[in-house]
Amino acid sequence: MKIKTKAEKGIKIGALLIFIGMSLLWTGCGLQGSENKTGSQTESRSGGKPDERSSEKLPEIQTDDEHMKNMETVAPVQTEPAGTETGPEIEEGINGEMNINVDAADSEISVESQFYITGISDEIFTRIQGKSYKDDCTLPREDLRYLHVLHKDIDGNVHEGEMIVNVHIAEDVLEILKTLYENDYPIEKIRLVDEYDADDEKSMEDNNSSSFNFRFISHTTRISKHGRGLAVDINTLYNPYVKTVDGKQSIEPVTAEPYLDRQADYPYKIVKGDLCYDLFIQHGFEWGGDWKNSKDYQHFEIPTAKINEWYP
């Protein structure tokens, strides 16, 4: 058995310490190299050459502050199968414009996620209670659905929109509005009529498109089709309701007289055979512009016979 001297022991301990020190140094260099690589990738995404997977970008969404203030109370919970995205993060930009933050490659998915249906949550109900959903409303809250959509104005600007309709037509209306958006069909505003205190005249004068607003047909106990969310009005200022009563012409909204000439050319006009007309007809609606005793160019409704099946 060989006995080690103190010198030999010191040499071995020194060698071990040198080995450990060099190992730590190599490890630190490796970590520093990893950090530099990660940082380089990040810089390339933000300031380098654009991602070539897709050149499509989700357009800016434009809306005013008050409209977005109302919409912020709505939780975007989709009625799609589990795992479906509920939409990209939205942050407020300059002058109240809204920008959707999303990678270019994900833009198609993100646009898709902006079209969805939910039930009437407590937050939404708070917005409509006592307005479009009046105290004497006989339609169950469960029979209504909230739609979130995108739409484009006449200049191609993209806006967020929201509409409440009957559960029986929710999927049809969502599909119609999505197709109109994809084909650049101009709709100026799609807001809940509650933003106008459920005043139809104010909503129409602002060229707002909407659906549900509970009311009875004048001088009857029958609920109007808008009162059940089974009628939709599109671009209301430029497509007025007009009827002659006792020899006097009645126009709604009253500011729409310049748009009674249906041969004239002006923005947002609905004509028989255009995309808006065709889509609603294909989905089982009737157009007020086809009526004989009056004309309601903004108005698409479910036929009475079908409604009587749903509400006998």
In this model, does residue 301 exceed pLDDT 50?
yes
Q: What pTM was estimated for this model as a whole?
A: 0.72
pLDDT of residue 221: 86
In this model, does residue 286 exceed pLDDT 60?
yes
pLDDT of residue 219: 66
Over the chain, what is the mean pLDDT?
79
In this model, does residue 39 exceed pLDDT 80?
no
In this model, does residue 42 exceed pLDDT 60?
no
Residues 279, 68, 126, 195, CA torsion sign: negative
In 3D space, the residue among 173, 72, 77, 70 whose CA is nearest the CA of residue 119 turns out to be: 77
N-terminal to C-terminal alpha carbon distance within the chain: 107
* Per-residue pLDDT band at 13 (split at 50, 70, 90): low
Residues 245, 247, 248, 249, CA torsion sign: positive
Per-residue pLDDT tens over the stretch 246-270 = 899 999 999 999 999 999 999 999 9
Beta carbons of 264 and 273 less than 8 angstroms apart: no
* Mean pLDDT, rounded, for 145-160: 98
In this model, does residue 54 exceed pLDDT 50?
no
* Mean pLDDT, rounded, for 115-124: 98
In this model, does residue 292 exceed pLDDT 90?
yes
